[in-house]
Amino acid sequence: MYQEIEHEAVYKVHPEAVTFSDVYGAFDVNNNSIKLDILKIEEESKKIKQEKKIENIKYQRSLAYLKESDPLFFKIQRGESNLEEWKSKIQEIRDRFPYPTT
């Protein structure tokens, strides 16, 4: 019945909920059934998914910076590379892992 609902969204929209089941719904501390506001839950679920997507992009970028651009920065310090090459690499990483536009 509630299979498409993101559990985290249920708890954010209904902080009184202490348990949630995909089959039976949400319940408060006294085991009373909670009438779910599906529209608000769906909206919150979209926000959560967007936040998770952005966090993943940040993580992917940080890994790429560590592996690809940081070594170039150290080469610049040793005089083995130039600032433009480093800036170009940073832009390449940003282009590879763009943030969502909306």
Q: Which domain holds residue 32?
A: 1-36
The reply to whether 64 and 26 lie within a common domain is no
Based on the fold, state whether residues 27 and 52 are members of the same structural domain.
no
pLDDT of the residue at 67: 98
Instruction: Based on the fold, state whether residues 20 and 64 are members of the same structural domain.
Output: no
CA atoms within 13 A on the CB side of 18: 5
Q: What is the pLDDT of residue 65?
A: 97
Residues 29 and 57 in one domain: no
- pTM equals 0.74
Whether 99 is covered by a domain: the verdict is yes
The per-residue pLDDT for range 51-87, each reduced to its tens digit, is 999 999 999 999 999 999 999 999 999 999 999 999 9
Residue 85 lies in a domain: yes
Total of domains in the chain: 2
- What single-letter DSSP state applies at residue 65? I
Q: Do 55 and 10 share a structural domain?
A: no
pLDDT in tens, 14-23: 999 999 988 8
Residue 20 sits at φ, ψ, to 5 deg, of: -145, 135
**Average of per-residue pLDDT values in the chain:** 92
Report if residue 42 sits inside a domain: no
Residues 23 and 69 in one domain: no
Q: Based on the domain organization, do 57 and 94 belong to the same domain?
A: yes
